[in-house]
A and B are shown apart, each in its own frame.
Chain A
Amino acid sequence: MASVELRGLTKRYGSLAVVDNVSMRIEHGTLVCLLGPSGCGKTTTLRLIAGFVEPSEGEIRVGDRVVSTPERSLPPERRNMSMIFQSYALWPHMTVTENIVYGLKLRKLDAATIKQKLGAILATARLEALAGRYPGELSGGQQQRVALARALIVEPETLLLDEPLSNLDANLREEMRFEVRRLHDEYRYTTVYVTHDQSEAMTTADVIAVMNHGKIEQAGSPEDIYDRPRSEFVARFIGMSNVLRGKTLDSTHVSLAGAPLKVTGEPLKTGGDTAVSIRQHQIQILSSKPADQANVVPATVVRQVFLGSSRDYMVEAADGTQLRVVTPASDNVAPGSSIWLHLPADRCRALAG
């Protein structure tokens, strides 16, 4: 059993805290995605876990071993982890086979075992035909699979992935997402996956931890993060959201776009302003005034763009608030038309802070 636990983990460079008091427990066999924009501290967190960087404060535990403290840090080679790097880091002077078995050779396994394990992993990663090639002779996707095979063959307790798909073209990236998830399900390692691509995180992760400015803003299942964002940053970063600010009216209503809207989410504090997010495709456009006026706002279409499978609207409420709305392509309303927007109460998420 190897859960990975970060406790108050902090890394400072000078006075700048790149990773700021991060605490998190990753259960054995789960796949956690650290998701965030570049510079949010996700890669540093990963390198802290790997042992390439020593923490300024806090500690890291793997299972019941303490592997990193500011005083003492176990070197990466003794952590029984594997890592897949953004650049793949395949050694150009070794063949595919030599790259893959390197870790086993270090573990001094006998030749027969190495051969058997190599055969198995080559089959899993569909690399049999390429075993004798050099990395320079492989395509991006093939290199990616070699990197995966090299990391997995040593059967690590923990697998770390640093933006492993960012160098692939769009089609391949989509395919490899499922590949990563399939391999994870097959081997059930504790996996930490760093990415800035939300759809990558959605497809692969059990748990997504959204990071910003060195802190974890919110951690939870993909559904949690998407449907119930707790902060403006998470709401904006995951999916496309309108974030509106308005006066808090009572424990369930906020004044937005000139109308009192019923919202859900974080508990409201009356007497101040509340930020509320609503996804662009969760707003309905109605061309006639509906009978039920709850959570309906009158507005005008400013512009619309036909995107093939959908339409992208910019609309303006009576008080000048602008909202973006994505509708099915069949909802065609000309710019300048008066419309009514329905913002479902369970989709209007009040945000913290």
Chain B
Amino acid sequence: MTIAVPAQIAERRSLKIDFTWPVLITFALLLCVLVILPVTWLVIYSLSSVDEVTKAREFTLAHFANLFTDPEFVNPLITTLVVAVSSSTACCVIAAPMGWLVARTDLPYTRAIRALVTASFVTPPFLGAIAWEILAAPNSGLLNQLYRFVTGAEQGEYLFNIYSLPGLIFVIACYTFPYIFVLIANALDRIPGDLEDASAILGGKTWTTAWKVTIPLALPALLAGVLIAFLQAMILFGSPAILALPAGFHTMTTKIWSLFQYPPKPELAAAASLPLLVVTVLLLRGQAMILGRKGYSIVGGKGADPRLIKLGWFVVPAMGFVAIVLMMPVFLPYFALFNAAFSPIATTLLTPLNFTLHNLHFTFFELSSTQVALKNTFILGSLAATLGTVLALVISYITAREAVTGHRFLGFLATAPIAIPGIVLGVGLFLSYTRPPFVLYGTLWILLIAYITIELPAAYQQLQSAFRAVHSELEDASRILGATRLRTLRDVTAPLLRTSVIATWCFIFVSVIRELSAAIMLFTSETKVVSVLIFDLKESGDLGAIAVLGLSMLLLTFTVVILMNRIPGFGGTRLRNT
């Protein structure tokens, strides 16, 4: 078959320019700036100080020495550790049995229970913390008032004090337990029923099977969930700022924030941020390792539907347990917020007689900063959602189709921000953009950059799995018929990804609205957003306005989340807590 034919006419390069490469390279560079720049400045600042005389930066380890010896920093470090360990333990104790009840037993109303857990998932933790203030502040708290009313105790006596370490741990646990619940429930949902049937046919009774087969199989998910809960508790800013500061103690996040209050100490803040960054990276790696162990947590093959365990009379205590758990993050706080929004004084019980729309009117028409904050939030939300989606779309295309050498690195960069806690990113961005050539501090741009960076990983992961679902032959078919890469992207890939793109857009929009910890580091009076406004109003004690803003925020969030769940083929919202 081999016949040599002398044919030496070389193909001449066409003059048509293919824009594919420049576009790809631009996006890669953009990603580098977004992720690498703030982290680099963070490291530089933490390892240097400005010489008083020469004004030059000099290398020093003093900040880190300071961090690990000065009680001013060691105490918050210990507090953070205590808070993270105890709240993740508490979450685990509550969420694991609850996940099992919902996924594996004949407990009624499981859809409603899952929906309520989602509700606590999407509630911004700082809003929950404020709601719990209304409920359990020592004097004015509604629950303490009830306690005094029922027992006839003296004024000044109280049952709960939310301004305390246990109070903080409790509130944090309220809003991190969904992480464990979701992981556990999903893992249990996925365990094929025949694994349990196999145990049953060999003589294992219902409870033996549950104990020997089901629970061990779900263990990796539980472990991964605990790590995430630990992580969330560690990097949370809102709840400790609201509950720990009045109680007179700091966690690492509030300490970092206070280092930016006058006089600012950016070097120390950078040094204090790095341990959070390192621990986050380690925890996420640990989680990936646990969940990635094939053949153990990921159970393959076609399986029979799981058989649900019959609870019998046990359904009553089980239901009671679930109800009490859901009271804490959802029913009670929402009630407190409603109460505060529509009664003249937040801590007075709402009755038909004292019902008022004054707070509503005050918040939206009298409070001057509301309009600005709403406008800013809306602009930032839509811009971040649009730009973030485009960025995530291009990067996930590159990585899913392996279009460029080095696509793995791009994928890594796009997911890297997941390991940067919001407050740490805030510090890094502050350091990066208060100097030439990029002086962005005080503008909306810096907040936009922060939001895009924070939301990129989740958006990227969603779109990448969407890309994977689009068979690459669909794109090949377009190219062999004569379309360039970009043309193919426009004609074939984009329309097929439409629903995922819309879902990602909504997801970023909602997440931006509720973001606090990066915004708190980067806002100025002109660039306030709603979450920062709520935090500010808290300082002035205006709970009515907070409740109104908080409820509007929740209303918007739930509307978008419900809309997203209506879009076919899009399940599971992963919101990042602030």
Contact = CB atoms under 8 A, between A and B. Distances in A.
Do A and B come from the same complex?
A: yes
Interface of A: 5, 7, 23-25, 50-52, 61, 63-67, 72, 74-83, 85-87, 89-93, 102-103, 106-107, 150-151, 154, 160, 209, 216, 219
Nearest to B3: A25
A interface majority secondary structure: mixed
Interface residues of B, number: 28
Leading 7 A-B pairs by shortest Cβ distance: A103-B481, A89-B477, A89-B473, A64-B7, A23-B2, A85-B473, A106-B482
Contacts of B473: 85-87, 89
Interface stretch (B8-16, B48-56, B252-260, B344-352): B8-16
Interface stretch (B213-221, B358-366, B489-497): B489-497
A5 B482 contact: no
A83 B3 contact: no
Contacts of A65: 9, 11
Contacts of B10: 66
Given A92-B496, A103-B482, A61 B476 contact: no
Interface string B466-494: 00000101101111111110010001100
A24 B2 contact: yes
Interface in B1-56: 1-5, 7, 9-11, 14, 18
10 contacts: A7-B2, A24-B1, A50-B480, A61-B7, A76-B476, A82-B481, A87-B474, A102-B483, A150-B481, A160-B480
Given A66-B11, A87-B471, A102 B481 contact: yes
Nearest to A85: B473
B496 A23 contact: no
B521 to A, nearest CB: 43
A324 B3 CA distance: 40
A154 B11 contact: no
A85 B1 contact: no
Contacts of A23: 1-2
A5 B5 contact: yes
Which of B1, B18, B479, B492 gathers the greatest number of chain A CB atoms within 10 Å? B1
Contacts of A61: 5, 7
Which of B477, B480, B484 gathers the greatest number of chain A CB atoms within 10 Å? B480
Nearest to A50: B480
A1 B49 CA distance: 74
B478 A102 contact: yes
A83 B495 contact: no
A83 B480 contact: yes
Contacts of A93: 495-496
B481 to A, nearest CB: 4
B481 A154 contact: yes
Which of A61, A67, A76, A85 gathers the greatest number of chain B CB atoms within 10 Å? A76
A87 B11 CA distance: 32
A343 B484 CA distance: 59
B490 to A, nearest CB: 12
A87 to B, nearest CB: 5
A106 B479 contact: no
Which of A78, A86, A89 gathers the greatest number of chain B CB atoms within 10 Å? A89
A349 to B, nearest CB: 20
Contacts of A151: 481
A318 to B, nearest CB: 42
Given A85-B476, A89-B474, 7 more contacts: A61-B7, A77-B479, A83-B477, A87-B471, A102-B478, A106-B482, A106-B483
Contacts of A64: 7, 9
B482 A91 contact: no
A98 to B, nearest CB: 10
A117 B200 CA distance: 65
A117 to B, nearest CB: 14
Contacts of A160: 480
A61 B11 CA distance: 10
A100 B4 CA distance: 38
Nearest to A154: B481
B480 to A, nearest CB: 4
Nearest to B492: A91
Nearest to A162: B473
Contact of B482 (A66, A72, A107): A107
A102 B479 CA distance: 11
